[in-house]
Amino acid sequence: MRDFPYLDVWHKAHAITLKIHGITETFPKIETYGLAATLRRGSAQMTMKIAEGAGQDADIDFARCLKSSRGMTLEVEYQALLARDLHFIEPPVYDALQHQLIELRKMLTGLIRVQPV
């Protein structure tokens, strides 16, 4: 069992979640329960999966949660791309967010690889 607040990968995911909350505040009102909510929920879930995995006793369960979180980064990346293409996110903001998501995915992949199975 690990304490998730001490994991760098959790801090990275949490920072992305906070950034997405800020970005989605500017979305049109019609998207409050649509794309904005989906982006917020997806980013929070990818962060929560890391926290859940940290609480697991077995390394294989930790790795399973990390894999789930990694998959969610791809979902969030697509949702952000959609928001950019709908002109809800400016391209430079999207580019920075995409870079952070790719970096997070690489961190998750590295952490998954070192888990004994």
CATH code for position 23: 1.20.1440.60
Take residue 36 and report the two structure tokens written for it: 């904005």
Task: Give the per-residue pLDDT at 116.
Answer: 67
Q: What pTM, to 2 d.p., does this model score?
A: 0.93
Question: Domain range holding 87?
Answer: 4-113
Tally of domains within the chain: 1
- Span 40-59, mean pLDDT? 95
Under 8 Å between Cβ of 45 and 99? no
- Short-list 4, 27, 12, CA closest to 99: 12
pLDDT at 89 over 70: yes
Looking at every residue in the chain, the average pLDDT score rounds to 95
SS3 per-residue string spanning 53-74: HHCCCCHHHHHHHHHHHHHHHH
How far is it, in rounded angstroms, from Cα 49 to Cα 45?
6
pLDDT at 117 over 70: no
